[in-house]
Structure 1
């Protein structure tokens, strides 16, 4: 019998915290470096899109890599490559001068970092069921805390990012990002957990066939297919808000710290919501929680579209994060309970890649629209379809599967 221990679970939590914090710093630093040059929302959209476009393919490959190479190994390799991609910003500035850090360079490095990140996230998520079992935790509880930790990372990351930009500048801030990824590597390096090592590849199909197998499994599972398309649409509508519109709004006002506060408010609400899900799941249906989140997201984005004073934006952002915090634990639970162990990485990869697919389209539209019509009109152009998505989701029958056991 395997001895109960929370050690592996806590190591995964710590790795998620540090890697997520690194990504949170980048979330502020990359668009700030672009907007500081000429204030162009179009160029900020190009860099933001460069940071999301590779995710569609990379997440598919990441899922297969996790199943083929092993969860622990992929997590460490991914974080090392991510650290190198962000450390390249100050290295290039030191070798070639600050002027060498132009939009093309930032877009290229953002793309490289984005290409490596999904593998690490997928690897950590796929280790949760075994770590939860070792700790004697339920999946709902472990997913709730994991996503709360991830939201905490996006409180620490953007907050530190905004402060560091104000003190050190955007380029030197990237050193902190690289160090965060190295801490994640250190945590996973000492992790020992069943199912996290090199898998038995004897019965695994070739990589492309394995990806197709994961796609087929998601498509043939109604609840997974429906969740994927709901998440795809919501991501496409919301991503420009955080990646372009908020940075544009606060850059025009020369308020980097305030941008960090807004992103922190989103993550703080998400932290409380994700932690609260462990309790809320005992009293409320998963479907009800998810529908509430999607509808509230549309309402909150509509309020923000009118560009109210900063305190109002902070409160609405915190509420938005709170209601949306439980969604990721629900998604994780469904993937972990519906997918067999040998397919888990590819199913997580497929779901993640579909969620990212609409992001570049939203960014392509949002940047030029913001420059041409202003932030108010662009916010409305994104928030009204989000309200429509919430209304449609109420009538999707597959979402009723969220509250049925996997065997049912």
Structure 2
């Protein structure tokens, strides 16, 4: 295997693995620290929401920043700032005492970290088509492996997170999170040596006059594309229904039972299923239409989440979470493919940023509802409140003609 040929795509995949693992550890460590202190699902929702609200604005700006400042540079800056935000947890504990790491501090740091993460993710995704082209990979193959790598990160992250919390404690676990982001920075820095096309500072002729102008240009492009517009709404709805289950309901369920390792297993099951589903998409894409894959995924998600709402024994929950991950695995590669092929190269960062921000828009609303509802009505009713609308979404998607555009030839003329 040629280092020059395959080096860029492998470095991007490694960076995604490390940054994803860091986020995976944070995903279990932040709610655990909160629930360990107060036991309140509302407090966990506040911290989860603090880690979600900035994503809407940050992802919107991130796409324009990536196109404006350069993809490699933005990825490295983003990971550096994310590393500092999580390392601040043990630094504050060492300086002011563990009691200083309260809900307000955790919410602020979660918000800070979330504000930087989208830029790194957007930068890596927008470098992928050029890296795949150099390696001789198709976009479907590259996106399949990329999303499988990201799911692998969320197998490694929560699993390590659960073990580290059990052995080192939640505060010291954040050192590992910071180290993962540093490794991501190192991988992306090597792209300069390999001279990946499109990774550096963009041509001045293609720059927006400012970041806000770039945001508006990205919004306009997405709005005029029917398939991108409808896909964004579908993903927005699915994200808003799914995110509270992973960020609040499962942590609450297992914290009440003092079972951090079991929480890690559940999150790992979701990611193992996602890993297999994303890798399987490379094969499925040769035999199934993208629309068919998407519809099967949405309908199965609704059925599996509704079954989880009955809170069956742990082995059943693990199997259902693996199913959820498996059917959700192909969605992200399809989503990435449509963005990469419908947006011209010069606008790719802006379009990815806009689509990502729309996907996060419903998250805070779901978290606002889920936390108080879990404290007052109980976990089972809250699970049902999220799963039944997911079933409805799957049925509605059957009748959305715009999703047939998932299988149309790409309209962009300057796509790699």
Give the match's secondary structure for 2:204.
coil
In the TM superposition, residue 223 of structure 1 has moved relative to its aligned partner by 0.5
The 8 Å contact of residues 235 and 359 in structure 2, kept in 1 or not, is answered as yes
Q: Deviations over 1:32-73 (max 9, x none)?
A: 000000210000000000000000000011101100000000
- After the TM superposition, which segments of 4 or more aligned residues of structure 1 sit over 2 Å from their partners? 201-206
In the TM superposition, residue 120 of structure 1 has moved relative to its aligned partner by 0.3
**Structure 2 CA distance for aligned equivalents of residues 42 and 211 of structure 1:** 33
Q: Deviations over 1:254-291 (max 9, x none)?
A: 00000000000000000000000000000001001001
Q: Deviations over 1:123-162 (max 9, x none)?
A: 0000000000000000000000000000000000000000
State the match for 1:276 in structure 2. Answer: 280
Q: Deviations over 1:166-185 (max 9, x none)?
A: 00000000000000000000
State the match for 2:203 in structure 1. Answer: 200
Unpaired segments of 5 or more residues in structure 2?
A: none
**Which residue among 270, 273, 276 is the counterpart of 1:266?**
270
User: Does 1:402 find its partner at 2:412?
Assistant: no
**Structure 2 CA distance for aligned equivalents of residues 311 and 215 of structure 1:** 44
In the TM superposition, residue 404 of structure 1 has moved relative to its aligned partner by 1.2
**Structure 2 CA distance for aligned equivalents of residues 131 and 82 of structure 1:** 24
**Structure 2 CA distance for aligned equivalents of residues 407 and 45 of structure 1:** 41
The 8 Å contact of residues 4 and 136 in structure 1, kept in 2 or not, is answered as no
State the match for 2:333 in structure 1. Answer: 329
The 8 Å contact of residues 50 and 108 in structure 1, kept in 2 or not, is answered as yes
The 8 Å contact of residues 291 and 404 in structure 2, kept in 1 or not, is answered as yes
State the match for 1:127 in structure 2. Answer: 127
Give the match's secondary structure for 2:205.
coil
State the match for 1:31 in structure 2. Answer: 31
Distance change (3 Å), C-alpha of 1:303 and 1:403: same
- How many residue pairs get aligned? The number is 407
State the match for 2:137 in structure 1. Answer: 137
User: Does 1:235 find its partner at 2:225?
Assistant: no
In the TM superposition, residue 203 of structure 1 has moved relative to its aligned partner by 4.0
**Structure 1 CA distance for aligned equivalents of residues 113 and 97 of structure 2:** 21
**Structure 1 CA distance for aligned equivalents of residues 394 and 362 of structure 2:** 17
**Structure 1 CA distance for aligned equivalents of residues 177 and 374 of structure 2:** 29
Give the match's secondary structure for 2:311.
coil
Give the match's secondary structure for 1:44.
helix
The 8 Å contact of residues 308 and 320 in structure 2, kept in 1 or not, is answered as yes
**Structure 1 CA distance for aligned equivalents of residues 359 and 89 of structure 2:** 28
What is the CA RMSD across the aligned residues, in angstroms?
Answer: 1.1
Equivalent runs, 1:9-408 vs 2, <5 Å: 9-191=9-191, 192=194, 193-206=196-209, 207-407=211-411
* More displaced 10-residue stretch of structure 1: 202-211 or 92-101: 202-211
TM-score normalised by length of structure 1: 0.99
In the TM superposition, residue 407 of structure 1 has moved relative to its aligned partner by 3.8
The 8 Å contact of residues 290 and 406 in structure 2, kept in 1 or not, is answered as yes
**Structure 2 CA distance for aligned equivalents of residues 127 and 158 of structure 1:** 27
TM-score normalised by length of structure 2: 0.97
The 8 Å contact of residues 161 and 264 in structure 2, kept in 1 or not, is answered as yes
In the TM superposition, residue 3 of structure 1 has moved relative to its aligned partner by 9.9
**Structure 2 CA distance for aligned equivalents of residues 185 and 60 of structure 1:** 22
Unpaired segments of 5 or more residues in structure 1?
A: none
